[in-house]
Structure 1
Amino acid sequence: MEYLIERAVTAIHERYSEPLHLEDLAKMAMLSKFHFLRMFRRATGVTPGRFLSAVRLQEAKRLLLTTSFNVAYISAQVGYSGTGTFTRRFSESVGLSPTQYRRMTQGDEDIRVGTAAPHALTKACGSMTGTIEVLGAPLSSIYIGVFNSPILQGHPYACAMRDQPGPFRLTSIPPGTWYLHAVAHGAHSPMTPYCDQPLLVDTAGPITVRPNREVELHVAIRPLDWTRPPILLALPGLDPLPSVA
């Protein structure tokens, strides 16, 4: 049955600019709406709507990197009816406005992204510890961060860079439910055709962090596959930097 969900994911990647609805995707997978939703979340970790939104924003990142189209045109190309809504969602997910993202990838601005979001530190914070394993050939440092979403987007609540696989520890994590994301450049992946050094990734979660407690995890980063929503957050040293035509 997994191939039916893969068919729907392929349709999202191919038809992201269209007004795709849950009913449309369920029909493509030849499943009832509720059964499809349940199976899609089990396979990808997110709803079809969130997956579609991530694909649209990832395509917007690609267009900002590889073309000179203006933001309004790109917004329409990826399925948004209003530039304001697009800009807000892009900024919230990527950590930069579309204009800032383009300038950063052109080297025109030195903007810090992917750093921990400020929050009130208390003695009641928890921590995560464990090991990072690489299933592939890493070509960069490994970024690891704690987020409130199963999609790597927004600002982390704790983060670090590791030069190589092995042990890690992230502290000052507020109590709550979180997702741990790890990413590094790898050797090859068809899911990132515009990137010369595609990505190795892993996500753990949902993880419950309790006050003054430590959660132990094992993270095994591997090449992106069809089940993974795109990585949206602009990460230092990990976003591709091609010249704009």
Structure 2
Amino acid sequence: MEHLVQHAVTTIRERFWEPLTLDELARSAMVSKYYFLRLFTRVTGVTPGRFLCAVRLQEAKRLLLSTSLTVADISVRVGYSSTGSFTRRFTEWVGLSPTQYRKLSLAVPGDKPEPAPPEAAPADNPPPPAARTTGSVTGVLRSTGTVLSPVYVGVFDSNMLQGTPVSWTNACAPGRFTLPRIAAGTWYVHAVAQGRHPDSPAGTEPTPLTATLGPVRVKGETAHRLDITLSPQDWTRPPILSALMDLEPQPMAA
């Protein structure tokens, strides 16, 4: 039944600016909306509404960096009737406001605005005791493709790669990584890099290689060890939204 979900994903990507509803997507798949909701969520990991929102915000990111359209105009183009609602959702899911995100294209390379949650404070400037975190995640990175950039690895509160991580680092694949100072709770570990699939023809443009693990439950002063394998992103995964992943890549470590 995955073909029903693939058809719905194609519809979302081709008509994201329209007021698509769960009822309409289920009707096009010729199944009940309750069955369609369960099937779509099982295959993609998110609800149709969250997938649609992610596609809209990905297009908004592209327009902010490649056009001079106002935020209000962009919000309408991607299917929002309220600029305020668009701005709030964009800020929550991307980690920067639309105006801040647009500055990414204007900043000097290496000087781009960077999400910096309190948990990511340097070791010589630890958070206050009330906000001190307790656990860590370590592991090994591998890849099914050729990695052409540093790998961003972060701990997020969603199985979608959105918002600001509570802890993040750069690493290499193959290689090891450590994510320190993670508060007790349930998290998802995301990794992303630019790369190329082994079967891709020579000269093919790099594409995202991604991996998601979770839920990972951090409790007490524990160190969780994970093996993460990056692979090309397929049609089932919603777009990458976190602004952290749009920072200017640094040179690959030796």
Q: Matched residues in 2 for 1:37 and 1:24: separation? A: 12
Q: Normalization by structure 2: what TM-score? A: 0.84
Q: Matched residues in 2 for 1:153 and 1:88: separation? A: 14
Look up the equivalent residue of 1:44 and give its one-letter code.
T
Q: Matched residues in 1 for 2:186 and 2:39: separation? A: 22
- Aligned twin of 2:252: none
Match of 2:242 among 215, 225, 233: 233
Look up the equivalent residue of 1:19 and give its one-letter code.
P
- Aligned twin of 1:67: 67
Q: Matched residues in 2 for 1:59 and 1:157: separation? A: 25
Look up the equivalent residue of 1:51 and give its one-letter code.
F
In the alignment, does 2:117 pair up with 1:106? Answer: no
Q: Matched residues in 2 for 1:139 and 1:34: separation? A: 42
The worse-fitting range, judged by mean Cα deviation, of 35-44 and 101-110 is 101-110
Q: Matched residues in 1 for 2:246 and 2:54: separation? A: 21
Look up the equivalent residue of 2:11 and give its one-letter code.
A
Distance 1:10 1:171, change over 3 A: same
Alignment of 1:69-218 (within 5 A): 69-107=69-107, 110-118=111-119, 120-122=131-133, 125-187=134-196, 197-218=206-227
Q: Is the 8 A contact 2:51 2:238 kept in 1?
A: yes
Q: Over aligned residue pairs, what C-alpha RMSD do you find?
A: 2.0
The worse-fitting range, judged by mean Cα deviation, of 84-93 and 176-185 is 84-93
Look up the equivalent residue of 1:222 and give its one-letter code.
S
Q: Matched residues in 2 for 1:58 and 1:179: separation? A: 21
Q: Matched residues in 2 for 1:73 and 1:239: separation? A: 27
- Aligned twin of 2:201: none
Q: Is the 8 A contact 2:140 2:226 kept in 1?
A: yes
**What's the secondary structure of 1:46's corresponding residue?**
coil
Q: Is the 8 A contact 2:150 2:171 kept in 1?
A: yes
Q: Matched residues in 2 for 1:161 and 1:13: separation? A: 31
- Aligned twin of 1:4: 4
Q: Is the 8 A contact 1:185 1:238 kept in 2?
A: no
Structure with bigger gyration radius: 2
**What's the secondary structure of 1:235's corresponding residue?**
helix
Q: How far off its partner does 1:132 sit?
A: 1.0
* Runs of 4+ deviating beyond 3 Å: 108-112, 114-119, 236-240
Any unmatched runs of 5+ in structure 2?
120-126, 198-204, 250-254
Look up the equivalent residue of 1:165 and give its one-letter code.
P
